[in-house]
A and B are shown apart, each in its own frame.
Chain A
Amino acid sequence: MAERSFQKEVQQLKIASGDTFRGEGILAITKALLENGVGYVAGYQGAPISHLMDVLADAEEILTELGVHFEASASEATAAATLAASVHYPIRGAVTFKSTVGTNVASDALANLASGGVTGGALIIVGEDYGEGSSIMQERSHAFAMKSSIWLLDPRPNLPSIVKAVGDGFRLSEASNSPVMLQVRIRSCHLLGEFTAAENVRPPTTVKDALENPQRDYERIVLPPSSFMHEQEKVTVRMPAAVAYIGDNHLNEIFGPDDAPAGIVCQGGMYNAVIRALQRLGLADVYGQSDIPLYVLNVTYPLVDEEFLAFAESKSSVLVVEEGHPEYIEQALRALLHKSGSTTTLHGKGTFPMAGELTGQVMLDSIRLYLQENAAQLMPAQARASNAPSPEVDATLARALPARPPSFCIGCPERPIFAATKMVEQELGAHHIASDIGCHLFSINAPFNLGATTMGYGLGPASASAFNDSSAGRRSISFLGDGGFWHNGLTSSIGNAVFNNNDGVIIIVDNFYSAATGGQDILSSRADNKSKSTNHTIKHAVEGMGVGWVRQIDRTYDVGRVQATLKEALTTEVVGPKVIIASSECMLNRQRRVKPLVNKALADGKRIARTRFGVDEDICTGDHACIRLSGCPSLSVKTLNDPLRDDPVASIDQHCVGCGNCGEVADAAVLCPSFYQADVISNPGWWDRTCSRLRRRLITALQTRRDKRRLVFDEVPGEL
């Protein structure tokens, strides 16, 4: 069960031809796939296309009705390999994943796919995780397209263009027997907009048809001599066919006047940002009517040489707008001008910064600079005047602001694991800690500050491989999430550690979901998933892999137990990898699962206990040692109305979910007795009420007895 449900939204996938579709980019892409007769869809979740997988999962019924097969792949490599169904059969297939990390994982299958080529349209929808909001290394998918001869679409960021690109991609793929990559940027995925819907189309050939009529073509299989033939075919047949299709069908677009001394070539995805810069310079209107000619590359690879040369021909200079590094398009266009002996000058990086996101400000500054230097006569007077210095950033204000990196949610079951690790390090000294990809990577931030590297999904323990020296006085600790474990960690990390007798400690953080990507189910999920096979335990898999020392912890909030287990793992005489599986359900997903049940029980008048923690403000001394082992958003500090106090005391707000971490940490680290756990019982039964009444009577008697012998300074309840 994913974090966000699209049950309501997917109903829009059924709307009639001609109706207006209104929704997010990911939903629009799904609709476009159905309109283009897709036969199968697969993918692996990850921002920014996680929700595309969620939409597809929620739309499974609609897909099945149409005879479309949907699969949540084990990894991006699996997803890419799925496209093999389009090699021999005329079935349109689409896969999706996060790029460039997912494309890295998929590249083996992609290269093989692209070598043999395809019969049915093969579309790879990559969510380009680049720029603000990105969580990965900053690279470009463009290089993958070039190296494997996969054509790369980068449509203008509006729903009609993205929807059109899906159809163009399938047709281009079939026309050139090559896979096509459709690149959608972070903000396009969550772009709310409209387009006019067309009819959904049943796939002319389904996977069922293919299964029942198997085919093979020796020449499509990647092995010599065919592989040498494929290389030639790519340049002599497939690319020319692709270029012809792109040109003939005007996939790239030209806007603005025919005749001008300057022009702009941009990636389709950059179009809106370019127009905004031109709008601000008074050179384009609200509807994109531009005074500067624009050549918009909705296909960024391959380039259509004649198209570009014709665009450049009448202009004395051209500016290339290309996001990211290296500047492949600019280099290609520069070479093209040079080869053709053109006198048109070309500007790109240099006018633009060499690397980094082309934000609104960068775009405005760079385009203004280009025009000032090359076509100042086209600019309105005000725009020509150099930019007034931007207001200075108030240094005092900037310094005053605390950073706010992402962190563990309220009640996160991973927090106690890192609290225990920090405490073990306080006792046994610092260790080399290898991190992995997933929510658990937030351990690198305050308050835990644990973890030295992250090398890729499922590769945490693999990245500690070199640290395997039994004569060393310390062992490495590596982390791995359940998502990464099933993605490839089982073999790349666990199998490798077993085979090489790695002596390190591996902690597998099992939260029942692929949590960081939005709570999708995986093999070891505890949920009953009606279309997937779940409940395959990590412990069995690890033991099956040959690990001898395995400890399963079923409640990560037991900080003392995690601490003791980790200490044992670090000190035991046993040789080979020591694997600790720390399992507790992702709190975000748990709350989503449990809340409706609790509300219903309350409404039905059933007995319900709600647990929350609190801090006795008189007992808390304001040292915040508890926060240094927690960082929970609901554990904060507040100022007391007491002139004797200098420092704020700890305080727990009403968002607390009662996970128990505070109390457990206070106990395990021997902090202070100021935490209390309160179980508030609604609709108490007869037994509850009777016990409570009797206890009350005793407690009141004891309190009264004590108060009779002393002065009672009772605070008058009040609010500030």
Chain B
Amino acid sequence: MSSDPDNRLKPLASNATPVSDTSAGIIKIAIHAVGGQGGGVLANWISDLATRGGYAVQMTSVAGVAQRTGATIYYIEMVQKTDKRPVLALTPAPGDVDILIAAELMEAGRAVVRGFVTPDRTTLIASSHRILAVDEKVLPGDGRADSPLVYEKIKLAAHKTLCFDMESIASGAGSMISASLFGALAKSGELPFSKDLFEDVIRRSGRGVDASLTAFRGALNYDEGVPLVRFDSAPKVIGGDRSAAPVGPARLMAQWQSLSDQVTAMPEPVQKMAMAGLRKVVDYQDTAYGAEYLQTVQLFLAQDSGDSTYTLTTTAAKYIANAMCYDDIIRVADLKTRASRERRLRREQQADAGQIVQVTEYFHPRAQEVCATLPAPIGRRIENSPRLYGLLNKLVDKGRRIRTDSASGFLMLWCTSVLKPVRRRLLRHRVETDHLQHLVNTSLSAAEQSYPLAIAILKCQRLVKGYSDTHARGQSKYRMLIDALPALGGQSASAEQLSQLLELALQDESGDLLQAELAALTVNA
């Protein structure tokens, strides 16, 4: 670490500040954070550090509405103290920042776009974790920004980059990201102060010192050889290993063995997806349902033109499983009463053995869902009679809070879950079977003309998800796409068109855009 900031190496690039710049001896630090992250704590630490290290320092921040989860900026300038008072700037200027600290990946990107990170001089210290903006979360599909792209771009923009997940280092230590960012700042060696002085500043701040120091050291000693770039959002538990073999009675295990043998007999590229699908389907219903699933997948395998990737069959394996495992009351009741669910819930809620967890479920069944869970003829009968349907709806249509940790609440759901064996006779199953049949037939018949189109058709199943109105809206969008097929022509070019329409449908909650697009298409056709 250099003791004299003037000696620091600052190579000149194309937009370099002229050598006559007398402010070059001033260290300029900008902090970009999201409101609520504790950027102010970090800015105060850096100011204290500078003061105790014999520097004159000036710190400013922008208060106001930006504190409410919006993007916030803090700015610090420091210069070696003399008996004269330096004149320091209150705002960062593009191309004139030595250290840019970003407490979130996209904020690092924003700093780069604003010109606060330049390759001639800026050391970029950024946490690679994400705090998703609302715009990224609201789309029916996946609206998340392209983290790997931003990661690559910010590295190119900076002179030197320290970018790793400082949020998980901090939360692992029970602290805030300000502490791990402070650690990364120490690690960068860009400030002429010893690590002991950094730690002293934390100690003197008085609150949560031990946790802060752990987070500080976690970042300070972070091994950059280990790739810990994580672009997901905060939750730590991201599902477990879903490939372990099931357990159960010998008879069922034998059936499972024979089914999974069928999968292993399939071409290698198909196996992974088919196995995941088989697990899901058997878990959803039973081994017989698994056999049905594999039969349907086999239909696609037989049609698959046999290119090395077997994309058609793999895609079919995925979406047939999803279509077969439609979300009904039985499914929800089953999932909510499993032992594994309880274990996951306690883990997510960080409940230790001595704590009791009370769990309340939020249900809102309507006549529609009740009819779907009745034997098909009865369900249809009620659905077709406005009077009966209205009566039933009056009876059931209200929010229900069910305590699944209580005996009565658990028993109610458990009893629903054991309806599984009769599921095939229920109205919903008829409806969903028709839907699946339609999907399979449409795709298979398209496969004769165009392999990519058959795949694109299967992918439209992605729209069908959710419950109640959401499900109905997804189903109607699916219908709109499938009905548009004749207008598309059935060539391989139309596969691309269908994929584009699918993308549009995934971005478009109401379906209005999709409708307009399809209307234009029909006119053109």
Contact = CB atoms under 8 A, between A and B. Distances in A.
A711 B467 contact: no
B483 interface: no
Contacts of B96: 280, 360
A713 B61 CA distance: 53
Interface in B126-151: 131-142, 144-146, 149-150
Contact of A404 (B70, B138, B253, B364): B70
Interface stretch (A313-321, A502-510, A629-637): A629-637
Nearest to A191: B60
Interface in B207-254: 232-242, 244, 246-249, 252-253
A716 B244 contact: yes
Contacts of B466: 621, 623, 625, 671-672
A396 B153 contact: yes
Interface stretch (A324-332, A441-449, A525-533, A575-583): A441-449
A361 interface: yes
B64 A134 contact: yes
Interface in B22-71: 22-23, 25-26, 34-36, 44, 47, 57-71
Contacts of A625: 140, 466, 470, 509
B249 A709 contact: yes
B138 A446 contact: yes
A671 to B, nearest CB: 7
Interface in A669-704: 669-673, 675-682, 684, 688-689, 692, 694-695, 698-700, 702-703
A712 to B, nearest CB: 5
Contacts of A382: 18-20
A206 B401 CA distance: 62
Interface string B147-160: 00110011001000
Contact of A672 (B26, B283, B350, B467): B467
A652 B287 CA distance: 34
Given A624-B137, A637-B137, A133 B79 contact: no
A390 B15 contact: yes
B161 to A, nearest CB: 14
Interface residues of A, number: 145
B84 interface: yes
Given A187-B91, A281-B18, A641 B110 contact: no
B320 to A, nearest CB: 10
B525 interface: no
Interface stretch (B177-185, B270-278, B381-389, B511-519): B270-278
B14 interface: yes
Interface in B87-112: 87-96, 106-107, 109-110, 112
- Which residue, of A271, A276, A689, A709, has the highest number of chain B Cβ atoms within 10 A? A276
A396 B349 CA distance: 39
A639 B141 CA distance: 12
B424 interface: no
Contact of A406 (B35, B239, B360, B418): B35
Interface in A616-664: 616-619, 621-625, 627-628, 631, 633, 635-644, 646-648, 651-655, 663-664
B196 interface: no
A466 interface: no
Interface stretch (A30-38, A284-292, A467-475): A284-292
Assign chain B's interface to a size class.
35 or more
B22 A282 contact: yes
Contacts of B327: 619, 621, 672
B337 interface: yes
A137 interface: no
A404 B34 contact: yes
Interface string A364-382: 1000000000000000101
A50 B140 CA distance: 40
B357 A681 contact: yes
- Which residue, of A614, A622, A670, A716, has the highest number of chain B Cβ atoms within 10 A? A670
Contact of A711 (B110, B252, B339, B469): B252
A678 B474 CA distance: 30
Interface string B285-304: 01100000000000000000
Given A276-B93, A287-B85, A402-B135, A282 B239 contact: no
Nearest to B465: A621
Given A406-B68, A643-B276, A681-B355, A360 B14 contact: no
Contact of B90 (A47, A188, A655): A188
B405 interface: yes
Nearest to B256: A711
A403 interface: yes
A636 B343 contact: no
A391 B14 contact: yes
A360 B92 contact: yes
B357 A280 contact: no
Contact of B60 (A187, A279, A280, A408): A187
Contacts of A132: 62, 73, 91
A684 B240 contact: no
B233 A638 contact: yes
Interface string B309-325: 00000000010011000
A619 B138 contact: no
Contacts of B71: 404
B360 A281 contact: no
Interface stretch (B409-417, B437-445, B493-501): B409-417
B374 interface: no
- Which residue, of B21, B71, B91, B341, has the highest number of chain A Cβ atoms within 10 A? B91
B345 interface: yes
A717 B347 contact: yes
B504 interface: no
A359 B467 contact: no
Interface string A381-412: 01101001111011011101111111111000
A391 B118 contact: yes
Interface in B249-273: 249, 252-253, 256, 272-273
Given A276-B23, A715-B241, A673 B462 contact: no
Given A47-B63, A190-B62, A614-B348, A272 B287 contact: no
B133 A404 contact: yes
Given A402-B136, A680-B357, A673 B238 contact: no
A248 interface: no
B349 A680 contact: yes
- Which residue, of B137, B331, B366, has the highest number of chain A Cβ atoms within 10 A? B137
B58 A390 contact: no
Nearest to A560: B399
Contact of A678 (B93, B279, B345, B366): B345
Contacts of B256: 711
A360 B114 CA distance: 12
B79 to A, nearest CB: 6
A133 B66 contact: yes
Contacts of A612: 349
29 contacts: A190-B60, A190-B62, A191-B59, A192-B44, A275-B89, A279-B22, A282-B18, A360-B96, A383-B18, A390-B15, A390-B95, A400-B109, A616-B341, A624-B139, A625-B140, A625-B470, A637-B132, A642-B276, A652-B235, A670-B364, A677-B359, A679-B357, A684-B356, A707-B339, A712-B248, A714-B244, A715-B340, A717-B344, A718-B239
Ranked 10 nearest A-B pairs via Cβ: A360-B93, A282-B20, A133-B62, A406-B70, A382-B18, A47-B64, A667-B399, A288-B87, A621-B465, A715-B240
Interface of A: 47-48, 50-51, 129, 132-135, 157-158, 186-193, 271-273, 275-276, 279-282, 284-288, 359-361, 364, 380, 382-383, 385, 388-391, 393-394, 396-398, 400-409, 439, 442, 445-447, 516, 560, 609, 612, 614, 616-619, 621-625, 627-628, 631, 633, 635-644, 646-648, 651-655, 663-664, 666-673, 675-682, 684, 688-689, 692, 694-695, 698-700, 702-703, 706-720
Given A190-B61, A382-B18, A713-B282, 7 more contacts: A190-B63, A273-B91, A398-B113, A402-B145, A638-B233, A664-B362, A675-B361
